[in-house]
Structure 1
Amino acid sequence: MRECDPRIVLGLHRSRYERRILTSALELGVDAIDTSFNYLGFSAHTALATAGRGLLPRFKISTKVGFFPTAGRAEHSLDPDRLREAMEQSNRDLGRAPDLVFLHNPERSLTGSFPAAQDRLGTACAAVERAAAEGLCGGWGISSWDARPLPSLVDGTTPRPDVVMVRAGLTAGIDVLEASEALAAGWDLGIAQLWGMSPFGGRATDPLWDKVDPRVFIQDPDEGLSAVQAAFRTAYQLPRVGRTAVGTDNPSHLRELIAALRYEANADTLLTYRRLLRERTARQSV
């Protein structure tokens, strides 16, 4: 068994929740998993508890609340009572308190005027923070697919999360990247407190990774480095994050991603890339 590497979180968004990937993750040194109250048709926690019977105490578990079942579909809400109920049910379904609970995509319910949106965000954050203080989870955070609306809503009165998780990698636009960095800066979060997710913008098997060569962003790449590995390693710099949540049901793929972490990103190439993204966005807005 390898020594645990805190830089990778096994994401379970599209997972089949099989015991095999959990045992393989532990053998490969990955002891953190990320799921959500609404994954797998709102049955992810019970599926994880079943597949991981006897294993879950060995994992650090993060989950999310914010989506709720209604009339055969999912709806988003920042209602404090519903968030609390989801956290309580998560504890029951997992058979333990998760180590971290994210407020899931709060931007989905932050439309409308500035004062009202800011108040909704602050109230929801306070509800999750209070639940954490009462032992329903070890800590709390915000997980945002599109952080652009959030930085302007954060001020000194907004509860400060332990962790923020944001979209990362080469498929994220410059506006999303910079909003994520601004959000982390607004809360004075360090690199270890900013996590990335969806480093491939979907699946690593997407034909996109056969058409582009992310190895240009890697310092001193060798013939053993694949395009998928390079894209994954680069995602840690777009934006700069301490951990990345990535999903797979294939132990070989997970092993490949772990191996990618021995490479270093090329800081100069990434600066040029970000400048070009910014210039293209500016031209498109004219």
Structure 2
Amino acid sequence: MRVADPRVALGLHRSRHERCLLTRALDLGVTVIDTSTNYLGFLSHETLSRTAGDLMPKFTISTKVGYFRRPGRAEHSLDPLRLRAAIEQTVRDLGREPDLVFLHNPEHSLHETARHSRDALARACTALEDATARGLCGAWGIASWDPTRLSGLIQTSVPRPSVLMVRAGLLVGARTLDAADALSAAWRLDDGMVWGMSPFGGSTNTPVWDRVDPRVFLRDGANSSRVQAAFRAAYLLPQVGTVAVGTNEPTHLSELISALACEVDERAIDEYRSLLRDHVRSQPA
């Protein structure tokens, strides 16, 4: 088993919850699992406990609350009572307290006035902060698919999360990257407290990865694959300390871990972000 490397989390959004994948992840030094109450049709926690309960103490487990099961659909809520109940159910289903609980996509329910949204966000964050104080989880954070809708809501009334999770990688737009930076600054989060997700925009088989060569962002990309280069660049788009990535293939996970040894050309990243901002500014209002 390799030395544990917290820079990679095995994301279970699209990954099969199979014991063999988890054991291989451990062999590769991946000891962080990222899941959610609503993954696998709201059965992720129970499935993990049933298929690999004895392995769970070897992992750091992060999960998310915010989506709730309804007949034929899922609904989102920031109601503090529902969030607390979801965390308590998480503990029962996993058979242990999770190390980290994210408030899942809070922007999904923040459609009203700014003041109402600030209050709703503050109450939801307070519920997770209280759950942490009660020992139901080790820490709490916010996972946001669209942080542009959160950056204007951060005031002293909103508790400070321990971790922020946002989209990362070459397919993330300029506004989303800037909003992630703004949230990190507002909450005074260093790089190790920011996580990235969806570094390939869903799949490495997406046609875009055949049309672009991300190796231009590495100082010496000759010995790296395009997939490795895209993954490594994701750690600087925006600046994050951990990236959650889903896969069903241990060989793919091994390839990504090897990419961590690559050196990123930060000047190329800065130029790329400048080009993204210029493109946004050139668009009609």
TM-score, structure 1 normalization: 0.98
Name the counterpart of 1:120.
120
Once superposed, what is the RMSD of the aligned Cα atoms? 0.8
Q: Partner residue of 1:107?
A: 107
Deviation at 1:157, TM superposition (A): 2.1
Per the alignment, residue 179 of structure 2 pairs with: 179
Partner in structure 1 of residue 279 of structure 2 = 280
Q: Give runs of aligned pairs for residues 184-203 of structure 1, distance below 5 A.
A: 184-203=184-203
Q: Which residue of 2 aligns with 1:260?
A: 259
Deviation at 1:285, TM superposition (A): 3.2
**Alignment partner, residue 83 of structure 1:** 83
Q: Distance in 1 between matches of 2:196 and 2:60?
A: 17
| 1:163 alignment counterpart | 163
Give 1:122 shift. 0.3
Residue 169 of structure 1, CA deviation: 0.3
Which runs of no fewer than 5 residues in structure 1 stay unpaired? none
- Separation in 1, partners of 2:85, 2:104: 15
Q: CA deviation at 1:51?
A: 2.0
Distance 2:133 2:203 in 1: 36
**Structure 2: which amino acid aligns with 1:272?**
E
Please give the secondary structure, in 2, of the residue aligned with 1:219: coil
**Distance apart, 1:9 and its partner CA:** 0.5
- In the alignment, the residues of structure 2 paired with residue 229 and residue 209 of structure 1 have an alpha-carbon distance, to the nearest angstrom, of 11
Q: CA deviation at 1:71?
A: 2.3
Q: Whole-Å Cα distance in 2 between the matches of residues 160 and 271 of structure 1?
A: 28
The match for 1:50 is 50
Partner of 2:236: 237
For structure 2, the residue ranges without an aligned partner over 5 or more in a row are none
Please state whether the residue corresponding to 1:148 is helix, strand or coil.
helix
AA at the equivalent of 1:253 = H
SS in 2 for 1:265: coil
1:18 corresponding residue in structure 2? 18
Q: CA deviation at 1:3?
A: 0.6
Matching residue's letter, 1:91 = V
Partner in structure 2 of residue 217 of structure 1: 217
- TM-aligned CA deviation for residue 209 of structure 1: 1.0
3-state SS of the aligned residue for 2:48? Answer: helix
Alignment-derived partner of residue 72 in structure 2: 72
Moved more, 128-137 or 199-208: 199-208
SS state at 1:103 partner: strand
Identity %: 57
* Pairwise CA distance, 1:16: 1.4
Cα separation, 1, equivalents of 2:149 and 2:228: 31
State the alpha-carbon separation in 1 of the partners of residues 260 and 184 from structure 2.
Answer: 23
How many Å separate the matches in 2 of 1:53 and 1:63? 16
* Equivalent position amino acid for 1:284 in 2: Q
SS at match of 1:75: strand
CA positional deviation for 1:52: 1.4
Aligned-pair CA distance for 1:111:
1.0
Counterpart of 1:271 in structure 2 is: 270
- The residue identity in structure 2 corresponding to 1:112 is E
Distance 2:236 2:168 in 1: 8
1:192 match: secondary structure = helix
Q: Which amino acid aligns with 1:231?
A: A
TM-score of the superposition, structure 2-length normalised?
0.99
Aligned residues: 285
Distance in 1, matches of 2:72 and 2:132, equals: 30
Moved more, 210-219 or 253-262: 210-219
1:211 is displaced (CA, Å) by 1.4
Give the letter aligned to residue 282 of structure 1: R
